[in-house]
Amino acid sequence: MYIGRFAPSPTGLLHIGSLLTALASYADARANGGKWLVRMEDLDPPREMAGADAHILHTLEAFGFEWDGEVAYQSRRNGLYQEALGRLKSEGLVYPCYCSRKDWQAAATAGADGFVYNGRCRVPAQRPEANGKTPAWRIAVPDRIIGFQDEIVGYYAQNLAHDIGDFVLLRADGFWAYQLAVVADDAEQGITHIVRGQDLLVSTPRQIYLQQCLGANTPHYAHLPLLVNSLGQKWSKQTLAPALDLNRREALLRQVMRYLNLPDAPEVDRPEELLAWAVLHWEIRTIPCNDIVTE
């Protein structure tokens, strides 16, 4: 049984890095006789781009991708996240935090992914007065190693207490944090295999810890090499990654297939045939681990 997914955030249009993730997650699922779901991670309206969600789905179709079932929209799954947070609350694993970012970061140490929260609000006696403020909700993390074997990267581990700190699940502005939503969704959708970019490797121990707290299974993970520009920066909206050009579908698919070390495909008429070639020749073990500088 294999259920995989591609989970774009509609903060911008798909670019070459997104195409690599889409192709790899799709080919890994299909080569294993699995399902491939698409989930729109539209949780952060201030960062989103109007119309990007429809544009992303149209682009996936134009490149020949066929997903199973309906597209899931995180913006419509509030109840699921409430339920997960409720469960963590009832088990006493989370706490309200009234610290302003400015205040706690001023004294914080740097961790694996930004500053490590000092845990002030974990102790009720130290918690500042609410004063009508809406809190953020944080989960108290354990002081132990959480590691996993990644299909591409190998063993990866963190001590959440030292490397990350108690992290936010529900933001003070009322938006759900990515970490909670992604774990609740992966569990509810029965995801067994996650193939995504190495920018998210640093999040995985947090997600495994949340899975453990929520009694969910831990999927298999494969974190793909990142496509970077000549300055070594990941292609993204911030680094002005160009949107995928639908007039160059074949060239772009061939480009990411080369990055994934797939053999050169014969001449084809349609992008679907390149995807079929990728599925037929899929070999996760030959995917390189290190960043790839793109032309």
Residues at the contact surface with ligand GLU, assessed by CB under 6 A: 7-9, 41, 182, 196, 200
The answer to whether 276 is a known ligand-binding residue is: no
Q: Is 91 exposed, middle or buried (0-12, 13-18, 19+ CB in 10 A)?
A: exposed
Q: How far is the CB of 273 from ligand GLU (least distance, A)?
A: 27
The answer to whether 129 is a known ligand-binding residue is: no
* DSSP3 helix / strand / coil % (the chain, rounded to 5): 40, 20, 40
Q: What are phi and psi of 293, to 5 degrees?
A: -85, 125
The answer to whether 196 is a known ligand-binding residue is: yes
Q: How far is the CB of 16 from ligand GLU (least distance, A)?
A: 14
Judged by beta carbon, residue 95 or residue 167, the one nearer ligand GLU is 167
**CA-based R_g, the chain, Å:** 20
Q: How far is the CB of 155 from ligand GLU (least distance, A)?
A: 20
Judged by beta carbon, residue 77 or residue 196, the one nearer ligand GLU is 196
Sign of CA dihedral 230, 236, 242, 244: positive
Judged by beta carbon, residue 7 or residue 97, the one nearer ligand GLU is 7
Judged by beta carbon, residue 36 or residue 104, the one nearer ligand GLU is 36
The answer to whether 9 is a known ligand-binding residue is: yes
Number of CB atoms found within 10 A of residue 274's CB: 23
- For residue 171, the 8-state DSSP code is -
Q: How far is the CB of 177 from ligand GLU (least distance, A)?
A: 12
The answer to whether 5 is a known ligand-binding residue is: yes
Report the distance separating Cα 143 and Cα 220, nearest Å. 24
Q: How far is the CB of 265 from ligand GLU (least distance, A)?
A: 26
Q: How far is the CB of 22 from ligand GLU (least distance, A)?
A: 11
Answer whether 157's CB lies under 8 Å from 145's CB: yes
The answer to whether 8 is a known ligand-binding residue is: yes
Nearest of 220, 240, 218, 213 to residue 229 by alpha carbon:
240
Pairing of strands 145-150, 154-159: antiparallel
In the structure encoding, which two tokens stand for residue 50, read together?
């109007």
Q: Tell me how many degrees the CA angle 136-142-146 measures, rounded to the nearest 5.
A: 115
Q: How far is the CB of 8 from ligand GLU (least distance, A)?
A: 5
Judged by beta carbon, residue 7 or residue 94, the one nearer ligand GLU is 7
Answer whether 193's CB lies under 8 Å from 34's CB: yes
Judged by beta carbon, residue 28 or residue 104, the one nearer ligand GLU is 28
Helix 178-188 vs helix 204-214: crossing angle, to nearest 10: 60
Judged by beta carbon, residue 51 or residue 263, the one nearer ligand GLU is 51
Largest CA distance in the chain: 69
Instruction: Give the residue numbers of the binding site for L-glutamate.
Output: 5-9, 41, 178, 196
Instruction: Give the residue numbers of the binding site for Zn(2+).
Output: 97, 99, 117, 121
